[in-house]
Chains A and B, each alone.
Chain A
Amino acid sequence: MRSNLGFFSDEKFRSIFFQTLVVGLFALGLFFVITTTSYNLEKRNIATGWSFLQNPAGFDISFSPFLEFKSTDTHLKVYFVGVLNTLLVSVTGCIAATILGFILGIVRLSSNWLLSRLVYIYVEFSRNVPLLLQIILWYSILIQLPRVKQSLQVLDVFYISNRGLYSPRPIFESGFSYVSIAIVLALISSFLINRWAKKRQDKTGQQFPVFSSSIGLIFIVPLILFFILGSPLSFEHPELKGFNFKGGLVIRPEFIAMFLALSIYTAAFISEIVRAGIMSVSKGQREASAAIGLKQTWIMRLIIIPQALRVIVPPLTSQYLNLTKNSSLGIAVGYADLVHGFGGISLNQTGQAIECMAIVMATYLSISLTISFFMNIYNRSIQFKEK
């Protein structure tokens, strides 16, 4: 029929033709963008390259709990401070959101109508109001707290004011490293005990008090060691001097606002995921475990949750990814994370827009990929194992 276009109806030819076309167009577009960009950069006297990373930043970062930051430090250090701050709020947020989300998801399924309705209202409000608005709202609540001079005192050691939460800073003395080594060893050995006990139970049916022995190992052994070594730990208490507290550990309101908003917002999503997961476990499983006489808490822990996890973990992973990406909203309240510190202030000071944005995007991509990588490993470990 189409003799004049015969070669065009050949699928192989067409495939190669279209792909070459697409690659060609893409290359052409790229060429166009690169030439116009270099022209634009030249006209604006912006030198490309990475040397700006070594220049002094010239600004202060108010919240840098891990690295000491001075205004004479380089932009590269701004980047590291930003990454650490992003990771700090993401990790703490993920942990808090998971705990809160699981609790709320289980409470949502409670037989108590009032309680489950209450959680439902919380979930709907928290999910349907923009996160940015929630962050700003929390921040505006926190900075309306009393001034430093009238700060609220909790348990005589914590001070809450509009400058943040001041708590004693632990000072580790020489012997403390032994205690931390003991804690690590205790963690490893309780993990091994757990595995051994599981194997023995599978073989013989005998149970081993894993929980209490782990508690003993992790808490009591290091504690005894701690006192033997003469308590090598002291606290530096914050003291009111002039207009502000000196010393102690300060948690800035920006961080608290980010932490609260991120974890409360994400917990609402997680609670729905947990609820769907638990409801996906068939009713027969619960009835069967009740029939063999398991206690209610054991049914949850041994029968329902392990099966529900298979449904829960994949969407949970994407919630962790969302939380990490949402932590970039710190810029709205001045939390010095990756976007605010490096992608915002450094970018504005150096004018190296392309380099800064490329670094920021690449960092987020690698954080996202790392999270999915580890969550995929975890996901594989809890899926059904075909025997």
Chain B
Amino acid sequence: MNEMNEVRKPPVATTGIIGWLRINLFFNWTNSLITLFVVYCLYQFIPWILDWTIFSADFKYNYLGEQITNQEMCSRNLDPENGGACWAVIYVRFYQFIYGFYPKVEVWRVNLAYIMLAFALLPLLYAKLPYRKYFLYFTYIFPVIAYFLLNGGLGFTEVSTNKWGGLLVTLVLGCTGIALAFPIGIMLALGRRSKLPVISMMCTLFIEFIRGVPLITLLFFGMVMLPLFLPEGIDMDGLVRVLVAVTLFQSAYMAEVIRGGLQAIPPGQYEAAKSLGMSYWRMNLLIILPQAIRISIPPIVNTSIGLFKDTTLVIIVGILDLLGIGRGTLADTNWLGLSYEIYFFVSLVFFIFTFGMSRYSLYLEKKLKTGINMGAD
């Protein structure tokens, strides 16, 4: 027992912060040069962007301490030398961004729907939720509740959809589109894999047609052509027409994703179910679909992210979603020229939703991988 047996520590340069820096940032001289260059660029850029968005920005009052009510009162318009972003536009128009033109007296209904949406999503997103079964019952009846809450009826005063706007429309379109497209997508996927040639051909044609054309043409279809196809007297609401188009579009993509999941189910599962005497529907509902949907959840979330972003397209057919309210605000002479602030805010809202969804899909993928490995025999 002497210094011969003493454990020697690794060289300083390979461990700890210094080691990490050496390996990841200064591995060789080109690497070091790149690092220094990037650091220099960031050094130039970050203070500027922080200054613009936070330190020199107006949130509610300008630098004279007045409350901002139009763009002329923004610090940067009073004094172009100093003054950054003018977030007051978001502050003033916040109600419109979140609720559109929903009457202020009734706005508690939207708030309640937002809260209930969170509770309805909870059991879908988190499988280990205690009392998940009861939460799921709530999820199933939530669309009905939300319809009466938002639209009116059952004692609530009616609020027509042309008063809806902003985040409300974005969420209604996104959630309804995804929720309706899911069952239709399953039917289309089963239909495409069906042994009955006519059904399989019709589903394939439908899916490939929808996937081959841009969403905007389907929105035009819903807006311009759908009224021509329907008999007189049936006057469809603008939002419903857009929803039809969005749902058709999303269900085709959903069908392809679910078909991928169906293809991954080994034939033994089908054979085993059939040998137990199960009918086609029993086999699919009890054996095949639960497994197929489980493995296709990450891509389902990914197409849902796509749909959520694509809901912005409805502004082209005149529906005011979050982006539509932003553009409407810009067209207001009171807030001319504040495009960067408004687009920054709208991007940020979308980013929070879509980035959250993509993180969730990654988490699922990881969970699924370990789950499958554990289940493999």
Residues A112 and B31 in contact, CB atoms below 8 Å apart: yes
Q: A15-B196, A357-B221 are in contact. Are A331 and B343 (CB under 8 A)?
A: no
Residues A114 and B196 in contact, CB atoms below 8 Å apart: no
- Complex CA distance for A39 and B229, rounded to whole angstroms: 9
Residues A128 and B212 in contact, CB atoms below 8 Å apart: no
The residue in chain A whose Cβ has the minimal distance to the Cβ of B197 is A19
Residues A23 and B198 in contact, CB atoms below 8 Å apart: yes
Total contacts A-B at CB 8 Å: 143
11 of the cross-chain contacts (CB-CB < 8 Å) are A26-B202, A39-B231, A41-B228, A114-B25, A129-B309, A132-B323, A136-B343, A329-B316, A331-B316, A354-B228, A357-B217
Q: Is B27's CB within 8 Å of the partner chain A?
A: yes
Q: Is B225's CB within 8 Å of the partner chain A?
A: yes
B168-197 vs A, CB cutoff 8 Å, 1 = contact: the mask equals 000000000000000000000000000111
Q: Is B38's CB within 8 Å of the partner chain A?
A: yes
B338-377 vs A, CB cutoff 8 Å, 1 = contact: the mask equals 0110010011001100110010000000000000000000
Q: A19-B196, A130-B350 are in contact. Are A360 and B25 (CB under 8 A)?
A: no
Q: A129-B350, A131-B309, A133-B312 are in contact. Are A114 and B35 (CB under 8 A)?
A: yes
Q: Is B315's CB within 8 Å of the partner chain A?
A: yes
Q: Give the Cβ gap from B313 to chain A, nearest Cβ, in Å.
A: 6
Q: Is A125's CB within 8 Å of the partner chain B?
A: yes
- Complex CA distance for A302 and B354, rounded to whole angstroms: 38
Return chain B residues, CB-CB under 8 Å to A279: none
Q: Is A339's CB within 8 Å of the partner chain B?
A: yes
B221-247 vs A, CB cutoff 8 Å, 1 = contact: the mask equals 100110111111000000000000000
Return chain B residues, CB-CB under 8 Å to A369: 212
Return chain A residues, CB-CB under 8 Å to B212: 364-365, 368-369
Residues B355 and A128 in contact, CB atoms below 8 Å apart: yes
Q: A18-B196, A328-B217 are in contact. Are A33 and B229 (CB under 8 A)?
A: yes
B202-230 vs A, CB cutoff 8 Å, 1 = contact: the mask equals 10000001011111110011001101111
- Complex CA distance for A320 and B102, rounded to whole angstroms: 40
Q: A125-B351, A132-B313 are in contact. Are A360 and B229 (CB under 8 A)?
A: no
Residues B199 and A18 in contact, CB atoms below 8 Å apart: yes
Return chain A residues, CB-CB under 8 Å to B34: 112, 114-115
Q: Is A347's CB within 8 Å of the partner chain B?
A: yes
Residues A331 and B216 in contact, CB atoms below 8 Å apart: yes
Residues B347 and A133 in contact, CB atoms below 8 Å apart: yes
Residue of A40, A128, A329, A347 touching B351 (CB-CB under 8 A): A128
By the criterion of a CB under 8 Å from any partner CB, how many residues of chain A are at the interface? 50
Residues A364 and B213 in contact, CB atoms below 8 Å apart: yes
By the criterion of a CB under 8 Å from any partner CB, how many residues of chain B are at the interface? 52
Return chain B residues, CB-CB under 8 Å to A26: 202
Interface residues of B (CB under 8 A from A): 23-25, 27, 31, 34-35, 38-39, 195-199, 202, 209, 211-217, 220-221, 224-225, 227-232, 305, 309-310, 312-313, 315-316, 323, 327, 339-340, 343, 346-347, 350-351, 354-355, 358
The residue in chain A whose Cβ has the minimal distance to the Cβ of B355 is A128
Q: Give the Cβ gap from B41 to chain A, nearest Cβ, in Å.
A: 9
Residues A353 and B35 in contact, CB atoms below 8 Å apart: no
Residues B217 and A339 in contact, CB atoms below 8 Å apart: yes
10 additional contacts, CB 8 Å, given A23-B198, A339-B220? Answer: A37-B228, A114-B34, A124-B355, A128-B351, A128-B355, A130-B309, A133-B343, A325-B214, A328-B214, A368-B212
Q: Is A22's CB within 8 Å of the partner chain B?
A: yes
A334-353 vs B, CB cutoff 8 Å, 1 = contact: the mask equals 00000100010001000001
Return chain B residues, CB-CB under 8 Å to A127: 354, 358
Q: Is A157's CB within 8 Å of the partner chain B?
A: no
Q: Is A192's CB within 8 Å of the partner chain B?
A: no
- Complex CA distance for A347 and B217, rounded to whole angstroms: 12
Q: Give the Cβ gap from B284 to chain A, nearest Cβ, in Å.
A: 15
Return chain B residues, CB-CB under 8 Å to A41: 228
The residue in chain B whose Cβ has the minimal distance to the Cβ of A11 is B195
- Complex CA distance for A129 and B327, rounded to whole angstroms: 16
Residues A353 and B225 in contact, CB atoms below 8 Å apart: yes
A10-22 vs B, CB cutoff 8 Å, 1 = contact: the mask equals 0000010011001
Q: A329-B216, A343-B220 are in contact. Are A353 and B228 (CB under 8 A)?
A: yes
- Complex CA distance for A114 and B227, rounded to whole angstroms: 55
Q: A23-B198, A37-B228, A41-B228 are in contact. Are A328 and B339 (CB under 8 A)?
A: no
Residues B217 and A137 in contact, CB atoms below 8 Å apart: no
Q: Is A227's CB within 8 Å of the partner chain B?
A: no
The residue in chain A whose Cβ has the minimal distance to the Cβ of B38 is A114
Q: Is A113's CB within 8 Å of the partner chain B?
A: yes
Residues A36 and B229 in contact, CB atoms below 8 Å apart: yes
The residue in chain B whose Cβ has the minimal distance to the Cβ of A329 is B216
Residues A22 and B354 in contact, CB atoms below 8 Å apart: no
- Complex CA distance for A332 and B316, rounded to whole angstroms: 7
- Complex CA distance for A124 and B34, rounded to whole angstroms: 22
Return chain B residues, CB-CB under 8 Å to A128: 305, 309, 350-351, 354-355, 358
Return chain B residues, CB-CB under 8 Å to A33: 229
Q: Is A361's CB within 8 Å of the partner chain B?
A: yes
Return chain B residues, CB-CB under 8 Å to A326: 214
The A106-126 residues at the B interface (CB cut-off 8 A) are 111-115, 118, 124-125
Q: Give the Cβ gap from B310 to chain A, nearest Cβ, in Å.
A: 7
Residues B228 and A328 in contact, CB atoms below 8 Å apart: no
Return chain B residues, CB-CB under 8 Å to A364: 212-214, 217
Q: Is A64's CB within 8 Å of the partner chain B?
A: no
Residues A130 and B202 in contact, CB atoms below 8 Å apart: no
- Complex CA distance for A40 and B35, rounded to whole angstroms: 67
